[in-house]
Structure formats: C-alpha cells, structure tokens
Amino acid sequence: MAQTLLQVEDLHTQFFTSRGVVRAVDGVSLHIDVGETLGIVGESGCGKTMTALSILRLVPDPGKIVSGRILFRGNDVVKMGDEEIREFRGNDVAMIFQDPMTSLNPVTKVGRQIEEAMTAHQRFTPELAKTRVIELLSRVRVPSAERRAKDYPHQFSGGMRQRAMIAMGLSNEPSLLIADEPTTALDVTVQAQIIQLMKQLNRELGTAMMLITHNMALVASLCQRVVVMYAGRVVEEGPVEQIFTSPQHPYTWSLLRSVPRVDEARKDRLVSIKGLPPDLSNPPPGCKFHPRCPFVVDRCKVEEPPLGEVATDQVARCWVLMSNVSEADVATAKASSISIAAAQNLKAPEADGGLGGAPGAGGVNSDNAGS
C-alpha cells in the first residue's frame, strides 16, 4: 500500500471582507502519496490555488484558515510555529507560482536567486549552493547552464524562466512540489517540453507533485489521480483514466467536453458550460453547480449532496450521476449548449452563397469554459 505524504482533512479557508465572508476553500479533503502526481482542475476561482496556498500557510490577508487539518507526514501544518513553518516551506514542500516573470526578481541574476533559495533554508552551505546552481539548471535542460546562470530574468525566454522556477523549486530537494499552472502563457511546443521535463523529474527524483491546471492534456500526461473542484469544494476525485473515461459529476463531464480532443475522431460539437461560477460570499442553496447543470433535478436545488463513492476509487458530489442520465438527456444537453448566435453563424448566407457559417469559421465555441 502506498505511503501517504500529505493528508488534507475538511479544510476551510475564508476571507473576511466588507461584502461578507468568502468561503474560498469549503471543506476540502484530499491526499497525496509519496512519489505520486495529483492533478487539481476546475475553472478560475474554484479554490485550486487557495488550497495550495493554505497547505503552505501563505493565505493572503484578509484570508484565514478557520478549520481543518493539513497533515504532512503526520505533523499538522496548521499548528506549526513560525520556525517550523519556515523549515516546512522550501525544505519539505516547494511551490512553482503561475507567472515566472513576476516571481523572479528582475534585478538579480537567475543563478543568484536559485542560490539564495538554498542558503535561506540553510539546507546547503553557500559554497555548495553555488556549485549546485549549475547542476540544477542543467537538470532542467537549460543549455549553457554556467553562462545562463549569470543572466537576468529578462534575458530568458518564457520557457527558460519556467525551467529556472522548476530548478528553484527542486533546489532544496523537497518531498512535494506544488506547480500552479506551470504551462500558462507558453506556446504548445514549449508546453510539451515542460510536460516531458516534469514527467522525467518525477520519475528520476521520486518527488511527489500537486499539479494545478486548466490543461486537461497536462493532467492526462502527468497525473495518476485527479481532483475536480467547483466553488471551493471537491466535486469529483479518482484515477485519471477512470475520470476521463467515465466522469460521474455533470461538471466534470462538461469540462471534458468543452475542450477538443486530439486523440480521437471529432464526433460531437464541443459543449459549453452556461453561466458563471457562483459568488462564494453568497452561494446558491443545495448543489452549488445546479444553476448551470443541464441535468438538474428538484433535489439539487435544496439539498447539498455529500461526496460519496460512485465506483472503485472514485467519489463524486452529485444526486444525479452521469451513469443515471439517459442518452436522450445527454443529446439534449449537447444540443442546447450551442448558443443561438453561434447556431445562426452555422447557416450559410443566402445573399452571396458564401461559406461563412462552415464549422470552425463561426466561432461556435467561443463561450466554452476554460478547463
């Protein structure tokens, strides 16, 4: 049986604002095993990044962890003192933030910043840290590492800056690396390189990873398990292949069908998710997804579903479940997801007989939810 590295139990992180209490993380429970890569997916504002910041006790003001436990190798991070939490960050758990350009100091050389990450936590002596910089940059495939270590962040490309951030995250040999949108703003070829790099590092170093992303391809490539979040809650969790093949929550089903698949023939139009995520200071009653759900029933509007087992190693928070939805209802949901304006764009103009409405030319999926 795999050894549990991190266990989050019923975590609640709230922001106390003039508009009311914002429940950014609302009862999240998850775990990561030693050497495992866990993906966390969902729309912007669903609580992915705030869950990661809570694990590191880096919640910005006016936010606060109000309840729950974060157990790292049996020790509760929530109860750690200042010195303990400082040792925990960097040495045990490291984080790669979303935008490397804003995370790196623009007036300090890249090599010096990686060196400081090691000496600040006193894991390595200054002399050893200096020699490890070149080794780390080489490991993340930065060419001419010795020369590039003397460059400033603006002299690195986007992909190179992301590699430098990964090197910094790995510098103290943490047991868990949290990567928040590691491929954001990178072009497709560089994304593929970063994916391959992270996969190789996970295999070679045995570092567990928590991958926060909208990119379903990234999850499919790197992760063993996936957690789907919505409105600060976990709505589905399970093995990646199982979730991708048989999603049980309507939100997961919608997410997977809102992005194109390159590994199979295109059969259906992409499904868009109507509406917006709820206001977390005033969420709707019952299931938080019910105002946007194409398969909603009356019970969803008044009663919050629990997170229950729906298959082996798979749990979902839903009264309906996709396995209980008829093919006719699924077909209706797919058809209704195309907006009226987009449907009109599909029609060829009668006046000039042009092809303006051909699929792919009319922007049918411009309102697809980001995944």
Domain boundaries, the chain: 1-80+175-266+275-337, 103-171, 346-371
> For residue 262, is pLDDT > 70?
no
Model pLDDT for residues 213-235, shown as the tens digit of each residue: 988 878 988 899 999 999 999 99
Confidence of residue 365 (pLDDT cuts 50, 70, 90): very low
Give the mean model confidence (pLDDT) for residues 187-206. 82
Distances (CA, A) of 170 to 50, 126, 161, 283: 22, 17, 14, 39
pTM value is 0.84
* 244-248, 288-292, 312-316, 361-365: least confident range: 361-365
Pick the CATH number of 1-80+175-266+275-337 from 3.40.50.2300, 3.40.50.300, 1.10.3720.10, 3.30.420.40: 3.40.50.300
pLDDT at 340 over 70: no
> Which of 11-20, 81-90, 208-217, 265-274 shows the lowest per-residue confidence on average (mean pLDDT)?
265-274
Gap between the Cα atoms of 281 and 90, Å rounded: 33
Percent of the chain with pLDDT over 70: 88
* pLDDT value for 268: 65
* Of 257, 254, 239, residue with least CA distance to 310: 239
Buried b (16+ CB within 10 A) or exposed e, 174-184: bbbbbbbbbbe
pLDDT band for position 307 (cuts 50, 70, 90): very high
